[in-house]
Chain A
Amino acid sequence: MDTAVKKKGRKDAEDTQEIISLTNVSKAYSTGAPALKDVNLHINKGEFVFIVGDSGSGKSTLIKLLLRELVITSGDINVMGYDLARIKHRRIPKFRRNIGIVFQDFRLLKDRNVYENVAFAQRIIQKSGKEIRKNVPSILGIVGLAGKYKAKPKQLSGGEQQRVALARALVNKPAILLADEPTGNLDPKNSWEIMKLLEQINESGTTVLVVTHNREIVNAMQKRVVTLKRGVIVSDEEKGGYIDED
């Protein structure tokens, strides 16, 4: 029955092109107030969505739920046809291979060079040596780091490190890219370059979710903006802008 439900779920997702679906999702931690309350969020394949909100608004919790790092307390959560409330532990790795993730602090392996950092993602999904040698240089070319494949992370600027992280997230060709404050540690010039890359990636068909505080970027890019406040979605607008707290 489980499989039947899953298959049906997958089919629905394909029909509607819905890739992420949260219905009445709540998440409460064992201590304190709920982190997310009654969240309804539906994202279609190929969308570019900003998730904005102050710290404590539930953005990080949302990302963790989408990665199945956390389990919802109630409601329904479906990503790429996977029912994340019921998914078995051993199936989680396969599910996560559909999602690329980029963090504010890059999280590169400091002891390995650019090439190895990106190849690492391919090795994890057990690509052959031949494929790795083909895919890694190609993705490094896309993010503009083809010439620096031998450099160690500490020899790179913040912007370059974020590109390496982006290349690592994209090399496995994920359907969804989650970017958690990708410009949080970057200057405006580098921030814009990263955002342009994200837009380019989105144009090639990848669904992109960007969690950010960067008002200027959100307002300028005219994409869908979902605003969270104390665990509740307070606004969800096509071509929206950054809503001020007050």
Chain B
Amino acid sequence: MRINTLFYTIRQGLRNIFRNKSFTLASIATISSCLFLFGLFFSIVTNFQNIVKNAEQKVGITVFFDEGLEDKRIEEIGQLISKRPEVSEIHFVSAEEAWDSFKEDYLHEYADGFTENPLENSANYRVNLSDVSMQSALVTYIESIPGVRKINRSELTATTLTGINALIAYVSVGIIAILLAVSIFLISNTVTIGISVRKEEINIMKYIGATDFFVRSPFVIEGMLIGLIGAVIPLGIIYVLYNIVMEYIIDRFPMLTNLLSFLTVHEIFNVLTPVSLGIGVGIGFLGSIVTVRKHLRV
């Protein structure tokens, strides 16, 4: 393709956008609203997943040993546990550390009354899991290791988190699929109207001897530009909105931010920006190329 043909094609694509303002606006509004919903949903879902993930990591199990078990055996048990694939982290807490942390958390100055460590047999491993749904399998395994006296765990938390995670995955896939289907349908409709308005021009081009590629290109560029604009607008809105909501939550519910860990706007946009732009431009490209193809057999 000649350079001036390329520029001509891009210029025509831009002209098309301004030539049918109402159709262009309708297309941009459609993509924008779909991608806005998508972005909104994405922000909520990723934050929720992040919260669940953090909660999962906090849901650990505590492994206690038989009284007077040798340090060597304790070390062996630690090695056995850390070999398991579902274990993300294992941390040894000595009896002294356990007591120190208990004093700090609950007793404060009242701890001075104790001369001996009441938690003498409380040395333990704190084990965190990478996948909370594997908790009961891991517990069964650890219970079978000789030298293990007791395991503390939270079954309810584990099953609840597993359930929420699955639910979020299904719901998000479902809603995103519906949104995309609606977008493609609406864009195809809008492009069809746009093309029928310019059918005459396409016919003249074909009579003069324009190749399919030459006829299609301006429309495809138009579609991609509409998709691009349709993606940038909701991204901007969500960026501003996200910051406002986060500031509001931090300001009004400081308690919540201690319990739940929210993602920063940059963490969200690192993924949301390329995905939204890709979907916008992709929908514009697909919608226009499929629709133009239908009108090319002169």
Query: Given A126-B2, A128-B2, are A93 and B204 also a contact pair (CB < 8 Å)?
Result: no
Q: A129 at the A/B interface (Cβ < 8 Å)?
A: yes
Q: A42 at the A/B interface (Cβ < 8 Å)?
A: no
Q: A96 at the A/B interface (Cβ < 8 Å)?
A: yes
Q: A109 at the A/B interface (Cβ < 8 Å)?
A: yes
Q: A54 at the A/B interface (Cβ < 8 Å)?
A: no
Q: Is the CB of A107 within 8 A of B298?
A: no
Q: Is the CB of B4 within 8 A of A129?
A: yes
Min CB distance A155 to B, Å, is: 19
Query: Given A111-B19, A128-B2, are A94 and B201 also a contact pair (CB < 8 Å)?
Result: no
> Hey, which chain B residues are within 8 Å of A126, CB to CB?
1-2, 5, 214
Q: A86 at the A/B interface (Cβ < 8 Å)?
A: no
Q: Is the CB of B205 within 8 A of A124?
A: yes
Q: Across the two chains, which residue of chain B brings its CB closest to A178?
A: B207
Q: Is the CB of B208 within 8 A of A172?
A: yes
Contact mask for chain B residues 1-24; partner A; CB cutoff 8 A; 1 contact, 0 none: 110110010000000000100000
Main secondary structure of the interface of B (DSSP, over half): helix
Q: A198 at the A/B interface (Cβ < 8 Å)?
A: no
A107 to B230: give the CA distance in the assembly, Å: 34
Min CB distance B125 to A, Å, is: 71
Min CB distance A34 to B, Å, is: 23
Query: Given A69-B298, A111-B19, are A121 and B2 also a contact pair (CB < 8 Å)?
Result: no
Interface residues of B in 199-213 (CB under 8 A from A): 200-201, 203-212
A129 to B6: give the CA distance in the assembly, Å: 12
A165 to B265: give the CA distance in the assembly, Å: 57
A126 to B215: give the CA distance in the assembly, Å: 12
Q: Across the two chains, which residue of chain A brings its CB closest to B205?
A: A124
Query: Given A107-B200, A111-B19, are A96 and B4 also a contact pair (CB < 8 Å)?
Result: no
Q: Is the CB of B201 within 8 A of A124?
A: no
> Hey, which chain B residues are within 8 Å of A93, CB to CB?
206, 209-212
Contact mask for chain B residues 189-223; partner A; CB cutoff 8 A; 1 contact, 0 none: 00000000000110111111111101000000000
Q: A142 at the A/B interface (Cβ < 8 Å)?
A: no
> Hey, which chain B residues are within 8 Å of A196, CB to CB?
none
Q: A125 at the A/B interface (Cβ < 8 Å)?
A: yes
Q: A154 at the A/B interface (Cβ < 8 Å)?
A: no
Min CB distance A229 to B, Å, is: 27
Min CB distance B78 to A, Å, is: 71
Query: Given A94-B209, A124-B210, are A107 and B204 also a contact pair (CB < 8 Å)?
Result: yes
> Interface of A with B (CB < 8 Å)?
67, 69, 90, 93-97, 99, 101, 107, 109, 111, 120-121, 123-126, 128-129, 168, 172
A selection of 5 A-B contacts at a CB cut-off of 8 Å is A93-B212, A109-B201, A124-B205, A124-B210, A125-B209
> Interface of B with A (CB < 8 Å)?
1-2, 4-5, 8, 19, 200-201, 203-212, 214, 298
Q: A96-B207, A96-B209 are in contact. List 5 more A-B contacts (CB 8 A).
A: A93-B211, A96-B208, A109-B204, A125-B209, A128-B2
